[in-house]
Amino acid sequence: MKKNIIKIYEGILIEEDKPLNVNQLSERCMISKIELEELVYEGVIEPLEVQAEYWSFSSETLWRVKKVQRLRRDLDLNIPGAALTMQLLDRIEELENMIKRHTE
């Protein structure tokens, strides 16, 4: 009888994942480096060290940038519009978490 081998996949927790540099972030999110710079100046994403010669970003930044890209594409937003949307979505999430804590 054929033995069933169950493969178990082990992933990497992305907070422990390697930081991404500008090139990687730009390629993975299909965004130009100039636009990434704009997102930093708009406060949507933050480099690990602003003063560093070459910026690097936490791997969680990937998800923020992807979200920005979806919003821009699907809702025809420009970068300041997407930045405001992100800020409001963050605020909503924060408030929802607060409500959840107080209704338990």
Tokens (6 digits) for 97:
């978490």
The single residue among 41, 49, 63, 81 that binds another protein, judged by CB under 8 A, is 63
- Least distance between another protein and beta carbon 59 (Å): 8
CB nearer another protein, residue 55 or residue 59: 59
Give how far Cα 63 sits from Cα of 17, 57, 79, 101, Å. Answer: 13, 11, 16, 25
> Using the rule CB under 8 A, is 3 a contact of another protein?
no
Are 55 and 45 within 8 A, CB to CB? no
Q: State how far the Cα of 36 lies from the Cα of 44, in Å rounded to an integer.
A: 9
The contact mask relative to another protein for 11-40 (x = CB under 8 A, - = no) is xxxxx-x---------xxxx----------
Q: State how far the Cα of 56 lies from the Cα of 83, in Å rounded to an integer.
A: 20
Residues lying near another protein in the complex (CB under 8 A) are found at 6-15, 17, 27-30, 59-60, 63, 66-67, 69-71, 73-76, 85, 89, 100-101, 104
